[in-house]
Amino acid sequence: MGKDGGVLRFCCLLHGTIYQLSNLSKSLQRSVSTLAEAQSCLSSTQAVIEKYKSRPGPKTRAVLDTDTYEGVLLKPTDADKHDKAKNELIDSLCQCITARFSDVNSGVLQAMRLTSFHCWPEADTSSDFSLLFSDFGDEEVNKLISHFRPLLLSAGVDVDLIPDQWTILKTELYTAGFSQETFEKTWPTVNRMLRHRCPDVLDLFNALLTIPATTADCERGFSVMKQVKSDWRSRLKGEARFNQMFCKRSKQWVLKKIFIPHTTQFVDELIQKAIDKTQSKHCVQSANVLTCPATACTATQHCTSA
C-alpha cells in the first residue's frame, strides 16, 4: 500500500484540504475577526476545496506526472477509482460545511455583512449614485432594526431615524469616493466623520461590531478561568476573580502595545547604568562590603558621595 500511487495522490489531496481547513480555523479564531469576514472565509475556503475536483492542489501536482516518489517506484494509479474517491471526499466535506454554517447566508446573519466594506458594491463614477445604490442595504437594515429593536431602544437609539440616516451614510461615503481598492476608512474613522449626522445608524453598526464571529474568545475565557480559579483558590470572590481574569486576558495586549516597543531602549539604559555603576571611581566592592574611599563608609551607612 505504501508504494501505491493512488494512495499517495489521495494523501496529497488530504494534505491540501486539511491545509485549507487549518487556515479557515486560524481565521475564525482571530479576536478581531468580524462575522462578515468569517462568512467570506467560509465561502472562499469552500470554493478552493471544490476547485480540487478539476484542478489538483500543490502537493498533488508534485506527484501527478511522476512514477517515483523520493526514489521509490510507485504502482500505476487507477484514475477512475481515484477520481471517484476524490469527488466523494470533496462533496461530503462541502456538504458538511454547508450544513454546519447554513444560517450565515440568510436572515440577520446575512444582513450583518453590511459591517464589511468589502461587501459593498463598487461605485461607478460615470453614473449617478442615487440611481444605482439608493436601495442598497435597505432591506438588510430593516431586518437588523427589527431584530435588535429592544436592544437599541434600551440604549436610547431612535430607531425610526435609522433608515434615513443609512441613506445619508451611503451617500456621504460614495460621494467621498468610496472604492473597495482605495477605501481605507474603518468604522472608527466613519464615526468621527459622520457621527454628527448619523448617530443612530452608527450606534446600530457599533452594536453589530461588538458581536464576536465565533466562540473562540469565550473558550479562551474558560481556559483563563480554570487557571485563576483552581482547586487551591476555590474561594475567590466574584470581583477578585474578574480582576485577575481581566489582567490575564489583557497581558498579551499590554505587552504588545506598551512594553515591547520600549523593551530594547529600557534594556540598553539598564545595561548602561550597570556599566556606569561598575566603573564608578567613588565606590568599590571589597569582600562583599561596599566601601567608599572618600568617606570610609560601609553599605550599612548612607553614602552621599555616590
What does the pLDDT profile of the chain (306 residues) look like in tens digits? Answer: 457 777 888 888 999 999 999 999 888 888 777 787 888 888 899 999 999 988 888 888 887 777 777 777 777 778 888 889 999 999 999 999 888 888 777 888 888 888 888 788 876 654 555 445 668 889 999 999 999 999 999 999 999 999 999 999 988 888 776 655 555 557 888 888 889 999 999 999 998 888 887 888 778 777 777 777 777 777 777 777 777 777 766 665 555 555 545 455 555 566 666 667 666 544 444 444 444 444 444 444 444 443
65: cell is 506526472
The pLDDT, as a whole number, for residue 133 is 61
For residues 117 and 165, state if they share a domain: yes
The sign of the torsion formed by the CA atoms of 188, 192, 134, 123 equals negative
For residues 73 and 37, state if they share a domain: yes
Residues forming beta bridges with residue 111, ordered by sequence position: none
For residues 184 and 169, state if they share a domain: yes
For residues 70 and 124, state if they share a domain: no
Is 162 buried (19+), middle (13-18) or exposed (0-12) by CB count in 10 A?
buried
The pLDDT, as a whole number, for residue 221 is 77
Tell me whether residue 244 is in a domain.
no
Contact 114, 99 (CB under 8 A): no
Q: Name the residue range of residue 156's domain.
A: 109-209
pTM for the complete prediction? 0.61
Total structural domains within the chain: 2
Ramachandran region of residue 288, left (φ > 0), alpha (ψ -120 to 50) or beta? left
The last residue of one of the domains, among 59, 80, 105, is: 105
The last residue of one of the domains, among 76, 105, 134, is: 105
∠ CA 202-208-149, nearest 5°, is 80
For residues 129 and 205, state if they share a domain: yes
The pLDDT, as a whole number, for residue 300 is 40
For residues 127 and 141, state if they share a domain: yes
Tell me whether residue 124 is in a domain.
yes
Work out whether strand 284-286 and strand 72-73 pair parallel, antiparallel, or are unpaired. unpaired
The identity of residue 25, as a single letter, is: S
